[in-house]
Structure formats: C-alpha cells, structure tokens
Amino acid sequence: MKLLSVVGARPQFIKIAPMCRVFAEYNEGTKDKIEDIIVHTGQHYDADMSDIFFDELKIPKPHHHLGVGSCSHGAQTGRMLEKIEKLLIDIRPDMVIVYGDTNSTVAGAMAAVKLDIPVAHIEAGLRSFNKKMPEEVNRIVADHVSDLLLAPTQTAMNNLQAENLIEKSKNVGDIMYDAVLFNRRLAKQQSDILSVLGVTPKKYGVVTIHRAENTDDLKRLKEILTSLNKIAEGGLKLIFPVHPRTRNKINNDLQGWKAISNFSFIEPVGYLDMIQLLGNAALSLTDSGGLQKEAFFLNCPCITLRDETEWIETVESKGNIIAGADSEKIQEAYSYWNMRMESDIDFSNQVNTLFGSGNTAEQILEALVEYIH
C-alpha cells in the first residue's frame, strides 16, 4: 500500500507522529507493507516552527519538501495545489492522507480528488460555525471532497451527519490524545524548560496568540495584550512563546504597548517543552484549537481568546472558558480559575469519555487498510 501524507504546520507534525509509529509496527508483522510518503508543504518554514518537531517527535524526514513559505491564503494554497498535483501524478499513491484544517489540508485534498485519488481526512467534522476563519473553510471543503472521514469525537460525527456525510465517517477518537499520552512521559524526562525559565509549577500561566482574527485586528490584539498585562500585574507570571507573525505585529504596529516584567515573551518552543509547560501551568490562555485540547488532556484550565471554539467538549466539561478579545470576559474567566488554582483539577474522566482511549492511530490504520482493500 502506498500512502501519501500531506503536512505543513505544527499541529499536523504532532498528529502524524503517532501514525508513523503504527505504520512502522504494522510493517513489522506483514508482507503487505505500507509505504508512507511524507510531503511537507513548507507552510511553517521557520526551524522553530517546523524542524524541531520532526526531530523531537522522531518523525521520518519528509520525502518531499515543497518550500511554499508564507504568502496570502490564495497564493499559498494555489502554489501548494500546483506542487502537490505534480507529485501525485508522478507517485500515484493508493490514498492521500490530510490532517486538520490548514491550507496544506485543503490543498492536499483538492489536488488528490481532481486526480481521482482517494482522500482520508484525519480530524474530520470539526465546526466553529464561523466562516470568517480560514480554518473553518478549509475543514468544510476537505470534508466534502474526502472519501474517508476520521472524526475525533461524537460532536464531530453529529456535524458530519448534519451535512449528509455520515456514510463515509467513522469516530476513531482524537489523534492528539495519542500524542499527548506518549509525549508527556518524554517531556518529563527530556525537557528542562521550567528550570531554564526559572518558573515554579502551578505558579505561572502559558499564553499563545496566532490566529488571524486576533493578529490582523489590532484593536482585538491590543485589548487581549492589555488584559494579559492586568493578569500578570495581579501576580500570575505569564509565559508567552511568541509566534513570528504575532511578534512582527506587536513590534511594528503596537509600538505604544509594552509587556510588564511579569509577562515574559520567549521564542517559540518545541513540542516537548510546550507539553512540559502546559502540564505544570496553573492556566492557559490561547486562541489555538490544538492547545485548548492539550491543556484539557493535561488538566490545565483554559481561557480561549476567541469568540467560539470547534472543541465545544472542553467548554461543556468545564475545562475551558470562551472569552474572545473582551477584556471584561477575560478578567471574569481569570477570576473564576484563580479561585480554583489551589484545588486539584482533573479532567481525565471527561477526556476518556469524549476523546477516546489513546488508541486512535491504531483505529485509523485499521480504517485505512479496510478502505484500500
């Protein structure tokens, strides 16, 4: 079996790692071996956002690196389509696998379907119901052109059923839960990020901001940053691994705003360092979909700096509060969690009920083999 996996951004590197492990295990016990060809679009091209993840997560080096880089959504997706199509014509895999909701996802799916090559979409069925988000458009398109939809939760399955896609859908659990279970042990052994930063467990919060809805809207970005300054001023140290695009926006367009000393900007960190930071944090404040889940899996309370979330399960399980860019809502959410920081917070029962048992990669492999055969 010849599979071709398209990745290009941090969340996809995390999701492909468990699949690489199960492919290797499968090949040890069968003559019908899987040849998994990894294509890196270059959507995340910075070494801190790309290379470090392949190294840390022991992902095989990509067979093809397209080097697309940063540009507008249309230009980036178009360049990916052109380059992926050329590869597919040459390689002719049995199936193309796409992950998540980035431009790499939709480009890989569309290139394949136009060549009549089956597509499997891992993490299908997510919906924020906000089409102003580029990711929402990407995931809808990918779902509707794919042949096998591998959903992470029952909510995702319900969304697919509402769009008449249920017949090609399967609830396999969440691949990122597999990744967190495997890598949190490695993080404890290998990461020294807490000592490097000089922080004490449960005495700090982790911040990430990268979504276009926040970084491209200077009013929203400034309100979020000002609110975070207030939280840091109140005594909770905040650690902010800054996405390159966000740093450029702050440096170039928000020159009048300054972080207080208790609000620390650092360079982007690798996955193991981030898992270690999250697993020991008192709080996470983020606009990342993946980090909302990782925090939930690691029993870290979350405040989401968006107006909605595709991971509604984390909100319904009372592990996540939606605050958007509203300073009053951010402060209210912080006050809620601040009163609970001294208590033992454990979301593990909800995680196992909603996101699977940590064997999602095996279930995906079984679904792929069954479909191809």
Q: Is 210 noted as a catalytic residue in this protein?
A: yes
Q: Give CA separation, 312 vs 101, 108, 118, 293, 344, in Å.
A: 17, 27, 30, 10, 23
Under 8 Å between Cβ of 298 and 277: no
Instruction: Tell how far CA 290 is from the center of its chain.
Output: 3
Alpha helices in the chain (DSSP H): 10-28, 51-56, 73-91, 103-114, 134-145, 154-162, 175-190, 193-197, 212-215, 218-233, 244-253, 271-280, 289-297, 312-316, 327-338, 348-355, 360-372
Taking alpha carbons only, the member of 38, 162, 130, 30 closest to residue 93 is 38
Q: CA-CA distance, 321 to 348, in Å (whole number)?
A: 18
Q: CA-CA distance, 269 to 342, in Å (whole number)?
A: 27
Q: CA-CA distance, 228 to 119, in Å (whole number)?
A: 42
Helix 271-280 and helix 175-190, axial crossing angle in degrees, nearest 10: 90
Q: CA-CA distance, 142 to 110, in Å (whole number)?
A: 7
Six token digits for residue 63: 């067979």
Catalytic residue among 40, 44, 121, 210: 210
Six token digits for residue 184: 């949190």
| C-beta atoms surrounding 365 within 10 Å | 18
Active site residues: 210
